[in-house]
Structure 1
Amino acid sequence: MKKLGLLPRIVIAIALGIAIGSFSPEWLIRGAATFNDLFSGFLSFAIPLIIIAFIAPGIGAMGRGAGKALGLTAGIAYASTVIAGLIAFLSATILYPILLGSQASRAFENPEEALLSGYFGIEMTPVMGIMSALLLSFVLGIGISAFKNSILQKGLEEFRTIIQKLIEKIIIPLLPIHIFGIFANMTQGGQVSAIINVFLLVFVMIIILHVLYLVMLYTTAGSLHGKSPFKMLKNMMPAYFTALGTQSSASTIPVTLEQSKKMGVREKTADFCVPLLANIHLAGSTITLVSCAMAVMLIQGDVATFGQIFPFILMLGVTMIAAPGVPGGAVVASLGLLESMLGFSGAMTSLMLALYLAQDSLGTAANVTGDGAISSIVDRFTKRKVKSENAVKAG
C-alpha cells in the first residue's frame, strides 16, 4: 500500500471502512476509534508547530530579494486566492441548500452521538494556541526578513525541515488509517450513505469551480496580451496533469516553468514567478477547502455565514504560504483555522480531512495551472514598466 499514491490509499481506506464497519463488532470499531482519538490529539499538538515552521520562514523569504516584482506577484497571488475563496463561498451558499439540504436534515441530526468513542485517550496539550502561533510566526517572519543569512533564519529553516519530515513520514502515512476508522465508525452509526452522497456532489461542484476559475484567470491574462485564453490554457495542460499525479506544486515546478515560457512569458519573469507562486498561490486549494468546510458545517447542522467565512479566507491566504510540498499539505496547514475560526470539533476535522484529501490532486492541479496565468499577468505589467523606464532614459 505504501507504493500507492495518497489518493488511491484514501479511496481504499474509505472502501475498507465501509465494508468492515458494516459487520464488525463494537469492540473493533471502538479500537479504531481509540486510534482516531490519539491521532486527532497528536494533530492538535502538531498544528501550532506546523504553523510556525512554514509561515515564519515563508514570510521571511518573501521579504528578501526582488522588491517591487515580489510585491506585485505576491499581491496578485493573494488577490487570486481570496477571489477564489469568495467564489466558492457564493457557489456553496446558493447550491448547498439545494444539493445537500435533504442529506443534512435526514442523516445528521445528532452526528456526534452516533459515533462510538475510543477505549481511552491521552491528553496532548499544544505548546500554544492557534492565534499565538500565527502571531509568533508573523513576528519571526518579519524579523528575519530584515537580516540576511541570520542564525534564526537558518534555525527556522531547519525546524521547517523537521516538521516537513513529521508530515511526510508520520502524519500523511497514518491519515488513511485515520480515515478508515472514521468511515468504519460512521458506517456502524448509519451515516455513511449520506456522507458518500455529499462527497460526490461536492466533488462535482469543485471540479466545475476549478474549471470556471481557470477560464477567468486566463481570460484576464489573454486580454492583457491579446491572446486566446483557451490556447494559453491548453498550453498549460502538461503542468495540470503532472500536478494531478504528483499532488505537489513544488514537484511540478519544472513543467510549469517550461510551459509558461512556451506560452510567451519572458524567461526572467517565469524563473522568478513560478517557484514563488508554487508556494503562495493556492486558489485551487482554497476553492476546495472553502467548499469542503462549508459542506462539513452544513451536514453537521451549521450554516456558514459571510462573517465567518470571509476572515477564514483572508487568513487561509496567509496560513498556506510555503505550505509543505507534500500531498495534503494545504489542509494540514489550515486545520488550526478550521478549529479556531469555524469551530470545528474533532469529528468535523476528521470528516474534513477525508473530504479534502479525496480531492487534493484537483486543487493542486488548479494551483499550478493558475500559476501560468499569473506569471503572464506579472510579465505584462513588468514589461510595461521596463518600456516606461527606457522611454524616460531615452528622453
Structure 2
Amino acid sequence: MAENETRPERHAAPGESGGLVTIRLPVWWTFGGLVAGLLVGWMLAGTPGDHVIMKSASVIGTLWLRALQMTIIPLVASLLVLGIAKMISAASAGRTAMATILSIAGLLVFSGVASVIAMPLLLEAFPPPAGAANILDAPGAEAQAVPTIADFIASLVAPNIIQAAAETSTLPLTIFFALFAVAVARLPDVQKATLLAFFEALANTMLTIIGWVLWIAPAGVFALAVGVAARAGGGAFATLAHYIVTVSAMGAIVLLAAYLVGIFGGRIAPLRFAKAVLPAQAVAVSTQSSLASLPAMLASARRLGIREEVADFVLPLAVAIFRATSPAMNLAVAIYVAHLAGVELTLPLLLAGIAVAFVISVGSVSLPGSISFVISIGPIALAMGAPIEPLALLVAVEMLPDIMRTLANVTMNVGLTTAVNRQNSGDMQLQAD
C-alpha cells in the first residue's frame, strides 16, 4: 500500500489482544490540495465573479470541517478512558512499571510547561508575517471569551455532562472522563472488561468515520485554502513556513531534553548515547512512526547495555502510552492559533491547556500524527479559548512537524529506558564511551 493512501488498520498495543483502528491520512494528496488551493485562491482574488467561487469553496470547506469536528468529543472520551485505564493497569505491574509511569508523568508535565514558556517568547522574538491572521480566518472561526479566574475554577466541574458535551466545554469533560477511567479501573474484572470493550468499539467507530472524512481531505483542504489565499495572498505561504518552524522548535526542546535524560538520568556518556540512538532516529525520520521504530529502539537499548528485561518492558510500554512531544507541540499549535486570533492567554488558560494536553496525550498515542493532530489539539484549543477551525487547514502541513515529533519521541523513549534501568540497578557510575 502506498504511503499516501488512506486505509484502516488495527494496531494492538503491546501486551493487548485487541487494538484501535488507525487511519493513514493521504498526506501528499492533502498537501497538494493545500498548495493548489492557495495558488487558485491567490490567482482568483479580485477577478470578476470571484465572490461566487469563494462562497462555494466556503460552503464545501465548512461542511468538511464540521464532519471532522463532529467526532471529536466521543473519540476523545473513549480514548481517555482506554488510555488512563491502560496506564493504571501498567502502574500496578511492579516497581519498574511504577518508576516508568512516574517518569512519563514528569516528562509530560515538563513538555507542556516548556512550551507555554518558550512558545510565547519565540513568537514575540520572531512574530508571524504581516497579515498572517488572515490565513487562520477559517469559516466560522471565533475566539472564545477569556474567563476570569473565578469562572475558570467554577468551570472545572460540569453539573450536566451532556450539556458540557453539547457546548464543547473541554476541560470539565476531560476531568469527568479521567475520573471515569480511574473508576473503571477499580471495577471487578468482568465489568471492567465490558466497559473497556464498549469504549474501544466506540473509538473504532469514530475512527472509521474519521477515515471516511479524511478520504476527501484533499478536496476539503483545497476548498479552505482557496478562501485563505484570497484573504492572505502570497503571505499564506510565508505564514505556513513560519508556523512549521516555530512549532517544530518546541519539539526540538523535547529532543534536547531526551539527550539530557539519557546522559544524566541514565549515566550514559554523551557520545555513546548519541551513537546508540542514531539508527533508531533514522528509522523514526523515515517512517514517522514510533511503533515502527520499536525494533530499532530495542537494538539501541542493547548497544547501551540496558538489561533485557527492562528494555523489553519499558520501550513497548512507552510506545503504547507515552508521546513526549505531544504536550509541547500540541500546545504550541494552540498558542500559535490563539496568538493570531488575538486571544489573551492568561495563567488560568495556560494551566488549563497544560492539564488537557497532559491527559489527552495518554489517549492519543496509538494514533498516527495526522489523526491525533485534530483530536488532540482541538480540546486543548477549546480549553484555552482559541478557535479550532484552523486545525482543518494546518493538518495539511502536519507531515513536516510530525518528523520532529517522531524523532524526539523515539529519542526520549530510549533516554527514558536508560534512566529507568539505572534507577532499578542502582548503578551510579558513569558508563565509559
Does the pair score TM above 0.5? yes
Which of 195, 200, 218 is 2:236 aligned to?
Answer: 195
Aligned residue number for residue 317 of structure 1? 358
Paired residue total: 372
What is the CA distance between 1:142 and its match in structure 2? 1.7
What are the Cα deviations for residues 200-248 of structure 1, in whole angstroms up to 9, with x where unaligned?
A: 2343344444344323332232234432234313322333232333333
Correspondences of 1:1-395 after superposition (within 5 Å): 3-4=3-4, 6-24=26-44, 25-65=50-90, 66-100=93-127, 103=129, 106-108=131-133, 112=137, 129=168, 130-131=170-171, 133-146=173-186, 147-148=188-189, 150-167=193-210, 169-189=211-231, 191-323=232-364, 324-354=366-396, 356-384=398-426
Deviations 1:103-131 (A, max 9, x none): 35x4537974xx678xxxxxxx9667434
Relative distance call for 1:72 and 1:2 in structure 2 (3 A) is same
* Equivalent pair of 2:87/2:321 in contact (CA under 8 Å): no
Change (3 A) 1:296 1:274: same
* TM-score normalised per structure 1: 0.82
Q: Is 1:285–1:330's contact at 8 Å kept on the other side of the alignment?
A: no
Partner secondary structure for residue 369 of structure 2: coil
Q: CA deviation at 1:358?
A: 4.2
Q: How many angstroms apart in 1 are the aligned matches of 2:165 and 2:121?
A: 37
RMSD over aligned Cα atoms = 3.0
Distance 1:52 1:199, change over 3 A: same
Change (3 A) 1:85 1:9: farther
Q: Which residue of 1 aligns with 2:18?
A: none
- In structure 2, the CA distance between the partners of 1:175 and 1:288, relative to structure 1 (3 Å rule), is farther
Higher helix share: 1
Q: 1:344 to 1:247 in 2, by over 3 A?
A: same
Residues 332-376 of structure 1, C-alpha deviations (whole Å, 9 max, x = no match):
232442343122335433355345454223212211221110111
TM-score by length of 2: 0.76
- Identical counterparts, % of pairs: 18
Provide structure 2 residue ranges, at least 5 long, that are not aligned to the other structure: 6-25, 45-49, 141-163, 428-433
Q: Is the 8 A contact 1:109 1:300 kept in 2?
A: no
